[in-house]
Structure 1
């Protein structure tokens, strides 16, 4: 519009609305509002696309925060109970039960957690629990909480070496009897009458398994030799939808290469979805002196695979696992 046209429009304006209609197009061009609107549109689009991605990568860190809060609680508990240590056999019983209640509550609220077959865990005496390892084994934490609350027992656990190198985790691992896994130490724990939990797939299974729930045990049979040397039954365990709760990007070639080359478990984990978790315990496999470690390892792997085939729809689906939260009662397949 020409200058003459602009002044003509302004002079003919009868009210403020007419005046703004005349002035605003030039004002918009002068301050660059048109470009600003384009920028805001792009920003809005980016927020719409990336916000869900940011959330799913942040939620796994909430579990780490919960673990550190648990450690903080243990330190506070230790300081307040130092004087009582001389009068009680075990300083940490109260702390373990308190944290077990907190974690059990988390499982009930966030995942509607259920456990089926807990009666197969002996009230006394040793047993080896062998389980499928999710991207984050939060289902195993819930299982430990249930054993403490409902069985009144503490289950020892075998964890990868890198867990012992995480700053601040030492006290938590000690209180909950986590060991790094030499066979002699595992046998010692079982012969002392304790429960022991182990995942033969370990970090490899956590990082590189996926929604098809493939077992990545390789030719590992050390856990079977532990059961034979200790003469204890083996109880298989699997948690439905554990891969839909948290997933790993370990299937990407770069992360797989870094682990195989440097043994660095750096594959990002995302998720934290409030899907339905159900833990299933299979029938105990009794000690048999006529079965060697390779045969027992194969039998245990088949037992865990049977639980997967029976209780998990493959491939796993996050939406379906979310909808299962609304199922009031589980029906056996």
Structure 2
């Protein structure tokens, strides 16, 4: 083929322009550029098809990056304020407020975050906040930021054991008073007058709940016993569209089996959609010495379920949640 091409080019050598065109075509044929164009077309098509899929799995990692940037800030802050540490009992106050402002800004810009019922959080004294756990509890981070900025308080939190095994996360957990969650430690924090946030569903609810927003608490009643022992009110909390912001593949049987068998919370999370987030705080459930932990837990579960039914359209829908960014009124019906 190339010999024929060369002879053809030589036969047209008298016409300089035709000769150059002929040589160019012969070179393209020799280099296989015609096939390359086909390959590029295929690659362009695959890129067009899979880019949205890649984006929805990459966006959750941006939250992880933001967490580690927060940790980096804490390290820099500590270095810069080492001399003040000996003279100041509240070294981390400035850092907490700075990070709270960062996370509050992220919530306002990316999710149009709103919180309704903040007046139900006491300005002083203890209370137990019980919340629904999304695939990523980013709404809870925004809530913590608002408690710091609006109430001037730090809300202690209970997290699963695996969180404390994540490399580099320790400074952030310590500064924001995150604990493993033994009942004695929780009662101690509440008796000291602190706010405490806990999700009875925990990792199981994060992985296995879905757009129908079921509460997956099983037989967990420890949080209720903590409230009884500490004699504090319980405030239910739910964030509208939290499942539309981030979703988990934990509903697939393989990931469910993996967690139940090895306690590995490795179900992929996708999303990061800029849907509307509204956090609703229910009426406080006061301490009542006449009821036991089982009765109190059922009462709290009913209160949280009521918040979900009142403020969340079920099943959740990502497109609808995105359009709610443009609505000025929140759903009260």
The bucket for the TM-score relative to the shorter chain is over 0.9
Instruction: Please report how far the alpha carbon of residue 89 of structure 1 lies from its aligned counterpart in structure 2 after TM superposition.
Output: 2.3
Q: Assess if the C-alpha contact under 8 Å between 1:10 and 1:22 holds in 2.
A: no
Deviation of 1:214 after TM superposition, in Å, equals: 0.9
For 1:254, the equivalent position in structure 2 comes to 254
1:245-275 CA distance string (max 9 Å, x none)? 1111111111111111110111111111111
- Taking a change above 3 Å as real, the CA distance of residues 291 and 35 of structure 1, as seen in their structure-2 partners, is same
Q: 1:241 matched to which residue of 2?
A: 241
Q: Deviations over 1:57-100 (max 9, x none)?
A: 11111111111111111111112222212322211111111111
Specify the alignment match of 2:44 in structure 1.
44
TM-score, with structure 1 as normaliser: 0.93
Instruction: Give the alignment of 1:1-333 within 5 angstroms.
Output: 7=8, 11=12, 16=17, 28-333=28-333
Residue by residue over 1:97-140, the C-alpha shift from the partner in whole angstroms, topping out at 9 and shown as x without a partner, is: 11111110111111110000000111111110000001110100
Name the CA distance, whole Å, in 1 between partners of 2:75 and 2:83: 14
Q: 1:117 to 1:24 in 2, by over 3 A?
A: same
Distance 1:12 1:202, change over 3 A: same
Alignment partners' CA distance in 2, 1:197 and 1:138? 14
Give the alignment's TM-score, normalised by structure 2: 0.93
What do the CA deviations read for 1:133-185 (whole angstroms, capped 9, x no partner)?
01110100000000000011110000000111111111111111111000000
> When the two structures are aligned, how many residues end up with a matched partner?
332
Distance 1:273 1:74 in 2: 28
Structure 1's 252 and 34: CA in aligned 2 closer, same or farther, altered over 3 A? Answer: same
Hey, what's the Cα distance between the residues in 1 that align with 2:235 and 2:331?
A: 22
Change (3 A) 1:7 1:309: same
Which residues of structure 1 form unaligned runs of 5+? none
Give deviations 1:276-329, integer Å, cap 9, x for gaps: 110000011111111111111111111111111111111111111111111133
Tell me, yes or no, if the aligned pair for 2:311 and 2:331 is still in contact at 8 Å. no
Q: Give per-residue Cα distances to partners, 1:17-42, cap 9 Å, x unaligned.
A: x6677676655544333322221121
Pair 113,27 (structure 1): closer, same or farther in 2 beyond 3 Å: same
Is the Cα contact below 8 Å between 1:275 and 1:322 reproduced in 2? yes
Q: What is the alpha-carbon distance in structure 2 between the residues aligned to residue 55 and residue 66 of structure 1?
A: 17
Output the aligned Cα RMSD. 2.2
Q: Distance in 1 between matches of 2:59 and 2:4?
A: 58
DSSP-derived class of the 2:68 partner: helix
